[in-house]
Amino acid sequence: MDGLEGAELCYPQLQNLSCSGVMRPRVEAVLLYTLLSSVAVVTVALNLLVIISISHFSQLHTPTNLLLLSLAIADLFVGLLVMPVETVRFIESCWLLGDLMCALSYIVGFTLTSASVGNMVLISIDRFVAICYPLQYPSKITRSRIEVSVCLCWAGSFLYNGLILKDHLRQPDRYNSCYGECIVVINYVSGTVDLVFTFISPCSVILILYMRVFTVAVSQARAMQSHITAVAVGTVTVTAKKSERKAARTLGIVILVFLMTFFPYYYPSLAGQDISNDASSWALVSWLLYFNSCLNPLIYAFFYPWFRKAIKFIVTLRILEQNSSQANIL
């Protein structure tokens, strides 16, 4: 009886067709809204700092940072568009935003997720070429090629998820049993395709490339130790290699965190099950996946001195000074 006392209809005017839900206690709802909204605000703020930093300062206009910019844009939209909707979905017992928003919320969320995965693959390729083929890196990894790759990544994400969720977009309420639900189910076949193209294949590419990067980086470090004395030109070359290895290590941590936060989401497909937001573990799994968007800029702040310097420029408004884009922050 206690559970039924807090129950109410999602649409009281449709008593025979409306879903009924149990409302959370007011204090619990307020605490959850405060916590999850704070995560969304921090995610937006941190990724906005990354975007402003890379866009403003000329020294940061490199192919690698262009990939970080694309990743930050995906993470920004996760905090701006996905997290607020998921907050309401998690806390409220009824879906009151309509069928269209139900369909769009998943398409946007899945598209941003796929774009993040694609950016991770591009970052891995960039680090692989930088470490394993340093002399060929400037000619192989150019700004124009990175721009084309990023555009293809985003366009492919939109097209791919549009195909995966086309039935849900055409009929958003196909899995709803009553008014007030927003349920999406990706069947085993589509889930398996999604698992292969969005998780297994990209992760395999990432792991293989980073294993190669790690092997070459270790061999380079040993070679450096055996050449203590070097001419001035050689010293510049060694410094550049150190910088590349440090970037590879930092981005390796980003990718490791990415794998840890994405794996629970794809576990049902690995276990041969349908993926459904009606599952009891969905809230935890989805928020863990989206929380990755908040962790990425924190990793940059911890490992990248240029990001910390850029934040100081932005916070102190020195970024508004004339020629501030030419400042030395590396």
The pLDDT of residue 178 is above 90: no
Q: What is the pLDDT of residues 304-318, one digit of tens each?
A: 788 888 988 898 888
Q: What is the pLDDT of residues 117-152, one digit of tens each?
A: 899 899 889 988 988 888 888 999 999 999 999 999
Q: What is the pLDDT of residues 81-97, one digit of tens each?
A: 999 988 988 888 888 88
Q: Which residue has the tokens 């680090």?
A: 127
What is residue 183's predicted lDDT score, i.e. its pLDDT?
Answer: 78
Q: What is the pLDDT of residues 216-250, one digit of tens each?
A: 777 766 666 665 544 444 444 443 456 666 666 77
Q: Between these two residues, 164 and 68, which has the higher pLDDT value?
A: 68
Hey, what CATH class is 25-326 in? Answer: mainly alpha
Q: What are the residue ranges spanned by the domains of the chain?
A: 25-326
Q: What is the pLDDT of residues 268-326, one digit of tens each?
A: 655 555 455 455 566 777 888 888 888 888 887 777 788 888 988 898 888 888 888 88
Confidence of residue 4 (pLDDT cuts 50, 70, 90): very low
Per-residue b or e along 169-204, where b marks 16 or more CB atoms closer than 10 Å to that residue's CB: eeebeebbebbbbbbbbbeeebbeebbeebbeebbe
